[in-house]
Structure 1
Amino acid sequence: MQSIRISKLPPYVFTMINKLKKEARAQGMDIIDMGMGSPDLPVPKEVRDELCNAIHTKHINRYPAGDGIIELKRAIAYWYGKRFNVDINPSEEVVVLIGSKEGIANMSAAFLDRDDYALVPTPTYPIFFNSVIMFGGNLYNLPLLPENDFLPDLDSIEPGVLRRAKILYLSYPHNPTTVCVDKDYFKPIIPWAKEHRIIVSHDAAYTEICFDGYKAPSFMEVEGAKDVGVEFHSLSKTFSMAGWRVAFVVGNAKIMKILAKMKSYVDFGCFNAIQKAAVRALELNDEIIDETVAAYQRRRDVLCDGLDKLGWKHQRPKATLYVWAPIPEAFQEMTSLEFASLMIKETGVAVAPGVGFGEAGNGYIRFALVEEEARIQEALERLAKL
């Protein structure tokens, strides 16, 4: 019954993990859930208040503008200028999204034909490779290997693939490996993309969750970036608005126009009341971000210090709300899904198996810092008994 495209999608391992969590809870087990990156911190009160106020305004129930209300577009442009010193035209260079996942999926739908390749690092955020498969493009994996500092090797791409490549998907700070880059990393990518006529699509969802003095750059900061690409941002992590489903993409005006056209055929955009609340969130950014980052940094330190004591190898992240760790030596004969399943059954600690982010992630697991410090400490005590 399902289409050939859907049948080609890899198994969604998070569905399997959710089933195991459900079964464990049914047996009375207390699950410490560090699997999905779904923030537990509260949405700022001022943002919640703005949503409540907006709901009571006249005509708020009507269909929204598909590519975003102008007030939010202006707030995004102002935020970009203040945060990254980048000039964004709110009318032509911004599209508001129902979450970055929707925007990235529509990116693949709008630009990939049957003969086109998308260049996708692996492991990565699953929507990058899944959207390519769903919309009939050809997937070309760029393995992120420890010997390359988990960075894609663009020089290794086969010439025949390069001639047919349409999109390069990047994301820094990176999910799931937590690898970070500086602005100089992006500089050679721009002439490379121009030479090969490739769109650069950069997901920057974690630029605001940075630790130890690191400050993540924007791809748009680099001269010429708008000529070749776009950048996605989300309010899910910075403002804990994951369930609200609001994000945005900025960059090349021609790409924005095509993406907005694509969206106009498949959705009506984000609920206007949520967009108005998003304006308030961006206005508050400087007032709340330090407290948010401090909370995640404390959690990171508790988890990483504990993993050190357990002898579990890992890299202490400079950004994101994740810790990416190889499967411990005593369990390395297991797949990441098998080990994550064992963790739930034996300890009640849920993590994301690395294979869920692509086959190259199979020797790893990902912890999400979405539990309070005391719960993370309890998780470590349970893991010590494995």
Structure 2
Amino acid sequence: MKPLSERTANFSDSVIRRMTRISNQYDAINLSQGFPDFNPPKEITDRLANIAGEGPHQYALTWGAENFRYALAKKQEQFSGMKINPDTEIVVTCGSTEAMMAAMMTVTNPGDKVIIFSPFYENYGADVILSGAEPIYVPLKPPAFSFDANELEDAFKKGVKALILCNPSNPCGKVFTYDELKIIADLAIKYDTYVITDEVYEHIIYEPNQHIYMATLPGMRERTIICSSLSKTYSITGWRLGYVIASPFVIERVKKVHDFLTVGAAAPLMEAAVVGLNFGEEYYKELQKHYTQKKDLFIGGLSDLKLNFTDPQGAYYVLVDVSEFNVKDDVRFCEWLAREVGVGAVPGSSFFKEEVNHLIRLHFAKKDETLIGALDRLTDLRKKAIQSNGYFK
């Protein structure tokens, strides 16, 4: 038989989703794939229960139900200050995963170059390659995960078409400052480059950090393509409701790509989610307080265990340094951790272009009792590592 697609030949499955399967296999506490074990807001699920009887159950408008788009535009205007036309500047997608792919296919041609900061969410490289483009990686340097402006400009000089910006960042929890965003924006304007933002953690921010929307910077409204979703903000990761917000010129093309990728997002879920989009400011203050408490509980426990880790500025991930265990294969280490310690983690190598084997990613979007249970299991980490007889070295 003829060979299959060359562009997918070197793909592996998602390491993150694989670690969920491994966690399930060994009954480990799954702190790998970033989804909560608590329910969405009751107002949203109550509305969904009503919709099960009354509908809608058929296709919504391809680029999103009207009431959903209008509620989303109003909510985003409240937080960003940008006036958004819900008819010409929004496409509702099947999760932010599709939003990113639709944006990438809208912007790039085969052979174009795209800047990705490293560490990065694993889908970005795949999106670029599936679009026929070429990724160019620029390192974010720990512990602050800052970038070198000269290195970044050197990447822009290679004739890039777009830059992907995850803010707040998965996996390192970095929140980009205004000055950092201004450097990126000035370079994007200077080299006529699009910026595709992934802002799914926009409301999960820890004081004194603040989320600043790239599109609000001078000269960036027309060249920024915002990708996001409702997954993290409303604890509905399984609903797969995402969106793209961009200028009408870009959105007209995104609509066409989206139409042939998925036709449209789920009509009953959009209808139920409108309730969440109409929440007042108090909901988002409580959300920030909720995750701040989770973060303090979890990193406090890691500190008590004398483990080295990053203190995230946003999102709900912690990178833990496992150098003391002389890890040479972090994938093997995470498999061992799930099996022998009972905690699921993601190997750091799946997020870095650089060779990294000493980091693992844990998340804390879990009930307090789940996090306490995971910390209890991690108390045996050093003892069991000694007993492993160098299994992961």
In the superposition, the TM-score normalised over structure 2's length comes to 0.89
Name the residue aligned to 1:255.
250
Q: Which residues in structure 2 correspond to 1:15-54 (within 5 Å)?
A: 15-25=17-27, 31-54=28-51
Query: How far apart, CA to CA, are the structure 2 residues paired with 1:108 and 1:381?
Result: 43
Query: How far apart, CA to CA, are the structure 1 residues paired with 2:154 and 2:12?
Result: 27
Q: Which residues in structure 2 correspond to 1:337-376 (within 5 Å)?
A: 337-360=331-354, 362-376=357-371
Letter in structure 2 aligned against 1:23? Q
- Alignment RMSD: 2.2
**1:188-215: per-residue Cα shift (whole Å, max 9, x none)?**
3223212212110111111111223433
Change (3 A) 1:249 1:16: closer
Q: Which residues in structure 2 correspond to 1:98-177 (within 5 Å)?
A: 98-146=94-142, 149-157=144-152, 162-177=157-172
Name the residue aligned to 1:28.
none
Change (3 A) 1:378 1:57: closer
* Identity among equivalent pairs (%): 25
Change (3 A) 1:158 1:227: closer
Q: Which residues in structure 2 correspond to 1:190-269 (within 5 Å)?
A: 190-269=185-264
Aligned to 2:91, what secondary structure does the other structure show?
strand
Unaligned residue ranges in structure 1 (runs of 5+): 26-30
Aligned to 1:187, what secondary structure does the other structure show?
helix
Change (3 A) 1:287 1:23: same
Is the contact made by 1:232 and 1:250 (CA closer than 8 Å) also made in structure 2?
yes
Is the contact made by 1:298 and 1:373 (CA closer than 8 Å) also made in structure 2?
no
The offset of 1:321, in angstroms, is 1.3
Change (3 A) 1:296 1:256: same
Q: Which residues in structure 2 correspond to 1:284-303 (within 5 Å)?
A: 284-303=279-298
The offset of 1:231, in angstroms, is 1.3
Query: How far apart, CA to CA, are the structure 1 residues paired with 2:73 and 2:140?
Result: 32
Query: How far apart, CA to CA, are the structure 1 residues paired with 2:182 and 2:353?
Result: 29
Is the contact made by 1:121 and 1:141 (CA closer than 8 Å) also made in structure 2?
yes
The offset of 1:158, in angstroms, is 7.7
Paired residue for 2:6, among 4, 15, 18?
4
**1:306-351: per-residue Cα shift (whole Å, max 9, x none)?**
2112221112223211112222x32133332122122112210111
Is the contact made by 2:334 and 2:347 (CA closer than 8 Å) also made in structure 1?
yes
Query: How far apart, CA to CA, are the structure 2 residues paired with 1:310 and 1:181?
Result: 29
Is the contact made by 1:115 and 1:164 (CA closer than 8 Å) also made in structure 2?
no
**1:57-96: per-residue Cα shift (whole Å, max 9, x none)?**
46x2322222112222211211122112111121211111
Change (3 A) 1:159 1:174: closer
The offset of 1:36, in angstroms, is 0.7
Query: How far apart, CA to CA, are the structure 1 residues paired with 2:87 and 2:223?
Result: 19
Count of paired positions: 378
Letter in structure 2 aligned against 1:32? I
The offset of 1:141, in angstroms, is 1.2
Letter in structure 2 aligned against 1:358? F
Residue 311 (structure 2) pairs with residue 309 (structure 1): no
Change (3 A) 1:285 1:270: farther
The offset of 1:239, in angstroms, is 0.2
Query: How far apart, CA to CA, are the structure 2 residues paired with 1:127 and 1:270?
Result: 20
Change (3 A) 1:72 1:22: closer
The offset of 1:243, in angstroms, is 0.3
Name the residue aligned to 1:83.
79
The offset of 1:160, in angstroms, is 8.2
Letter in structure 1 aligned against 2:190? E
**1:252-307: per-residue Cα shift (whole Å, max 9, x none)?**
22111111111112221111221122221111152433333333222211221121
The offset of 1:181, in angstroms, is 2.0
Is the contact made by 1:32 and 1:371 (CA closer than 8 Å) also made in structure 2?
no
**1:100-155: per-residue Cα shift (whole Å, max 9, x none)?**
011101222222222201111121111111111122111111122227x3134453
The offset of 1:54, in angstroms, is 3.3
Q: Which moved more, 1:179-188 or 1:64-73?
A: 179-188
Is the contact made by 1:64 and 1:271 (CA closer than 8 Å) also made in structure 2?
yes
In the superposition, the TM-score normalised over structure 1's length comes to 0.91
Query: How far apart, CA to CA, are the structure 2 residues paired with 1:161 and 1:46?
Result: 46
Unaligned residue ranges in structure 2 (runs of 5+): 382-393
Q: Which moved more, 1:103-112 or 1:4-13?
A: 4-13
Residue 379 (structure 2) pairs with residue 377 (structure 1): no
Is the contact made by 1:113 and 1:136 (CA closer than 8 Å) also made in structure 2?
yes
Letter in structure 2 aligned against 1:77? A
Aligned to 1:258, what secondary structure does the other structure show?
helix
Letter in structure 1 aligned against 2:342? G
Query: How far apart, CA to CA, are the structure 2 residues paired with 1:158 and 1:293?
Result: 34
Is the contact made by 2:189 and 2:219 (CA closer than 8 Å) also made in structure 1?
no
